[in-house]
Structure 1
């Protein structure tokens, strides 16, 4: 249930996000404009955040992160650096030949978000930018992560997703996509047979937390990879995903640090 208190909390978090996104202190007027809030409402919320130490007012009337959030932000940033180092090293090991792209992805609000990656002599069209968002239904990692959703979540996604044809092979019929997702749930890997980029095939396997919940997807894509080549890579990719999951679980915040990367650097 949405209450007035919940709305105020959501607005306050939005103000914190705005301040975090700036390279330096930011004025009340600028914050209000970016948050699409009135000056009085913004002033009231900033006052509350200042009182609890989340934000700090500077001498010229601008605002920056307070000491409490600076400490939290620094701690999370250290964890993020450690996670990226672990992930990118493991992804690099997957690139045994030229023309291969390896990616770690997550699902956020129905979109595929590229969290980390490495390339080996790939064409420009395959160089998906870290932090970018893509439609989930037409990619191997996206379909794999959709398969981890509950029935209600998946139906909600299908009701809103723009299932448009990107290539000749794109699955854009809800019934076919549901059949594909049912198959993915059975075999626990997903294939993209030129559904996102003409001439490029991809395979993805899950990264799971301690409760065996899928939280991310590890994928390999290439222009020279046939379906038989991709199938042959499944054992190696699963082994790498299992190793990566185990390494991430050993971190202080475990695999939830992946969410830190998503929330602080991608959003």
Structure 2
């Protein structure tokens, strides 16, 4: 029997297991039966079912759970727009919960790409005073993405985007940077304490699905640095729901 939702990727596996079980019951299945079939605790099954219902993956009909309408659009031309809308909604929810700007980024074709930003006047995004693509060595987003590459991939990136000192806190020694990236635990948030821009601190957590290298990040004024660790923990907990939102 499980011990609750656990970490973000554990809960993602549980959610996928639950969807597979529901798919085997086209006429509907109760939460009790799902708990028994998946060997997950009933509270875990209930929380996951509620989350998946909100996202449109499950729906409850006359006490039985069936697959939701979100699956009807799989493979259709509007998939990209639907994924983007879900992603933006999730980021906005997380932004409001954190009270800080939130970013979703990917690394593909050898470059860093900030693909979505959710910010407001009360939760402003960091000013991109130097191109993010050229400063991966200094930002939490960049370091989080680089840490997911192998050593050759990191060196290739740094050969095309040489390290440069952006603030007095920027690490410019390539060997030291490579050492830190190599030893970065996948479960520990990557931090930027005024390395990219003075007055700003950031945190990022990896989001990996298949061959995709991505991350979820937040930024805030240095005056709020005492909130950064808790914000990073919330980012990590939000990774699995974000992956589910993008899986349509």
Query: What is the CA distance between 1:186 and its match in structure 2?
Result: 4.8
Point out where structure 2 has 5 or more consecutive residues left out of the alignment: 1-74
Distance 2:122 2:174 in 1: 32
Match of 1:112 in 2: 112
Q: Does 1:89 align with 2:62?
A: no
What are the superposed Cα offsets for residues 9-50 of structure 1, whole Å, 9 maximum, x if unpaired? Answer: xxxxxxxxxxxxxxxxxxxxxxxxxxxxxxxxxxxxxxxxxx
Match of 1:175 in 2: 175
1:230–1:83 Cα change, 3 Å = same
Check whether the contact 1:167–1:196 (CA below 8 A) recurs between aligned residues. yes
What are the superposed Cα offsets for residues 25-82 of structure 1, whole Å, 9 maximum, x if unpaired? Answer: xxxxxxxxxxxxxxxxxxxxxxxxxxxxxxxxxxxxxxxxxxxxxxxxx955x22211
Count of residues paired in the alignment:
173
Q: Which has the larger radius of gyration?
A: 1
**RMSD of Structure 2 on Structure 1 (CA):** 3.0
- Structure 2 counterparts to residues 54-133 of structure 1, below 5 A: 78-96=78-96, 100-121=100-121, 126-127=126-127, 133=133
1:152–1:232 Cα change, 3 Å = same
Distance 2:137 2:156 in 1: 13
- Structure 2 counterparts to residues 1-267 of structure 1, below 5 A: 78-96=78-96, 100-121=100-121, 126-127=126-127, 133-209=133-209, 211=210, 215-224=213-222, 226-249=224-247, 251=248
Distance 1:125 1:246 in 2: 25
Query: What is the CA distance between 1:88 and its match in structure 2?
Result: 1.1
User: Where do 4+ consecutive residues of structure 1 move more than 3 Å?
Assistant: 96-99, 108-111, 122-125, 131-134, 185-188, 224-228
> Could you tell me the TM-score, scaled by structure 1's length?
0.57
Higher relative CO (CA 8 A, sep ≥ 6), structure 1 or 2? Answer: 2
Query: What is the CA distance between 1:118 and its match in structure 2?
Result: 0.8
Check whether the contact 2:202–2:228 (CA below 8 A) recurs between aligned residues. yes
Distance 1:79 1:230 in 2: 34
Distance 2:216 2:88 in 1: 11
Query: What is the CA distance between 1:157 and its match in structure 2?
Result: 2.1
Point out where structure 1 has 5 or more consecutive residues left out of the alignment: 1-73, 252-267
1:125–1:244 Cα change, 3 Å = closer
> Could you tell me the TM-score, scaled by structure 2's length?
0.60
